[in-house]
Structure 1
Amino acid sequence: MDALVNIQPLLLAQLKPGDYVGFTFFIGSMAMAAATVFFFFQFSQVDKKWKDSLLVSGLITFIAAVHYYYMRDFWASSGQSPTEFRYIDWILTVPLMCVEFYLVTKKAGAKIGLLWRLIIASLAMLLFGFLGESTGIYNTPETATMSWVMGLLSGLAYFYILYLVMFGEVKELAAKAGPQVAKAVNILAWFVLVGWAIYPIGYIAGTTGGLFGAQILEGLPMDIVYNIGDAVNKIGFGLVIYSLAVAKTD
């Protein structure tokens, strides 16, 4: 009996029946893990020049799978949103998603400067977002103002990335790389526009007073939105890269 008591803290936290938020954490961790296995197994099936892109896709889902494993247990044991875990995940995976734009356009002449601009913009978007969410939880007029300022700076970084991939240098390079690359980059750009949009929406929903005093998405747990969005964005990103690599290999 004493031995059982001693190992109890080591046991995984159990999800409770009817815990739909916890259910999406579990689905997210399993989906990311399955995608990782798929991308790594397909690594040897694509041409050498596309291996780095597929490797990065696998790393993105692997990092997310590990974080979702811990986020699921954090939620099950505390019932609180794992904000810090999310930002640790995003600060590793989102820059890697931006790296994909560089890798697929590198053969068309993308310079290292483009890679660093994408990485720096993604880090700025996340760091300002984390600072805004960290101050916003105290629910005072002063912290609400700071939360909005940080959110604005984070949004500017996001729109800079969106401009590069939809209208700027990334789009121009993709057009030079050929129709298959241009099509893939266009799909990835829509992931940034539509898929990534859930994050600023969630940020606004969590800001004191909501959007101009209106609480958007009221009653809908943002963790469910984040979990589903993360799985679609990260796995979808990888599948687009995989499809491009296979097409180019054939």
Structure 2
Amino acid sequence: MYSKLLAIVPIASTNYVAFTFFVGCMAMLAASVFFFFEVSNTDKKWRISILVSGLITFIAAVHYYYMRDYFLATNQSPTFFRYVDWLLTVPLMCVEFYLITKKAGGKIGLLWKLIAASVFMLVTGYIGEAIYGTEQQSWIWGFVSSIGYFYIVYLIWFGEVAKLANDAGPAVAKATKSLAWFVLVGWAIYPIGYIAGTTGGLFGINVLHGLSLDVVYNIGDAINKIGFGLVIYTLAQSEKVSDKVAIA
């Protein structure tokens, strides 16, 4: 199997799944290089946040490189490897909220709440997609998974994260609100892929039959993971400019 994955497999012009895997891999690799190089050009208090942004896109790029080859070799969705990627990158995205609100008093307990909710969301989503993906129970597990998602949304929009961000200053508040929109709207892309990829679909009915879950997931990953990093980078640069103006 491994030797087959290493073989060069031609990609048909109509193979949009493989194309989005390739573009996603290149986009996130390029984003990783950018974030890693910009760490040294960033104020010290934001360097860990930029580094985490680079790690998120780098981990995703490595997984996408493998998932593309897996898909071409087997013509199957790399569900297991995708969830491995998400179990590493989604909690790191939650870590970003803790890092940018830490200076306003964010406690380690908040970090664990976000990580626990994200892991719960992903594990139950995997059960519904990979274990019960061909049965009616998949929509039930999808509903259970959404509990973790909405808890994260609550913390970011109305809970501790929102309150801490407002206390941290206008730049942090603005950045947090942008990230919150990514979670509310950008992460909402993934249930579309889930519905398309499971027989259970939406309340037992696959209303998106024919739509490729991998295309949806690939687009969602590129938008959310790169977008998260760019928001953090913009925050770091805006505060850098503000500090220079204040000194002048």
State whether TM-score is above 0.5: yes
> What is the aligned residue count?
239
Q: Deviations over 1:36-83 (max 9, x none)?
A: 000011111111000000000000000000000001101111111111
| Superposition TM-score, scaled by structure 1 size | 0.91
How much does 1:207 deviate?
3.1
What SS does structure 2 have at the residue aligned with 1:81? Answer: coil
Q: Following TM superposition, by how much is the alpha carbon of 1:96 offset from its aligned partner in structure 2, in angstroms?
A: 0.1
Q: In the TM superposition, what is the alpha-carbon distance from 1:152 to its structure 2 partner?
A: 2.2
Q: Name the CA distance, whole Å, in 2 between partners of 1:231 and 1:209.
A: 26
Q: Indicate how the Cα distance of structure 1 residues 77 and 249 shifts in structure 2: closer, same or farther if over 3 A, else same.
A: same
Of 93, 115, 118 in structure 2, the residue corresponding to residue 119 of structure 1 is 115
Contact 1:162 1:189 in 2 (8 A): yes
* Gaps in structure 1 of 5+ consecutive residues: 1-6
SS class of match (2:121): helix
* Distance in 2, Cα, partners of 1:48 & 1:37: 19
State which of 214, 220, 227 in structure 2 corresponds to 1:223: 214
The structural deviation recorded for 1:153 is 2.0
**Alignment-derived partner of residue 69 in structure 2:** 73
Aligned CA distance change for structure 1 residues 9 and 161 (closer, same or farther; 3 Å): closer
Q: Using structure 2 for the length normalisation, give the TM-score.
A: 0.92
Higher mean C-alpha deviation, range 186-195 or range 208-217: 208-217
Give the letter aligned to residue 108 of structure 1. A
The match for 1:133 is 129
* 2-structure distance, mates of 1:42, 1:136: 43
CA distance in 1, matches of 2:20, 2:37: 26
Alpha-carbon distance in 1 for matches of 2:190, 2:72 = 23
SS in 1 for 2:206: coil
Q: How does 1:1-250 map to 2 (within 5 A)?
A: 10-137=6-133, 139-140=134-135, 144-145=136-137, 147-250=138-241
Query: In terms of mean alpha carbon deviation, does 217-226 or 189-198 score higher?
Result: 217-226
In structure 2, give the amino acid aligned to 1:161. I
Matched residues in 2 for 1:8 and 1:164: separation? 45
The one-letter amino acid of 1:13's match is: V
Structure-1 separation of matches of 2:132 and 2:4: 35
Q: Partners in 1 of 2:200 and 2:146 — Cα distance? A: 18
Q: Deviations over 1:132-171 (max 9, x none)?
A: 112223x34xxx22x2332222110110000000111100
1:4 corresponds in structure 2 to none
Superposed CA RMSD: 1.5
Q: Which runs of 4+ in 1 moved over 4 A?
A: none
Q: 5+ unaligned residues in a row in structure 2: which ranges?
A: 242-248
Contact 1:14 1:73 in 2 (8 A): no
1:9, distance to aligned residue in structure 2 (A): 6.5
Q: Answer whether contact 2:196 2:212 (CA < 8 A) is retained.
A: no
Q: Percent identity?
A: 65
Kept after mapping to 2: 8 A contact 1:105/1:177? yes
Q: In the aligned structure 2, how far is the partner of 1:241 from the partner of 1:187?
A: 10
How far, CA to CA, are the matches of 1:9 and 1:136 in structure 2? Answer: 27
Contact 2:54–2:229, Cα closer than 8 Å, also in 1: yes
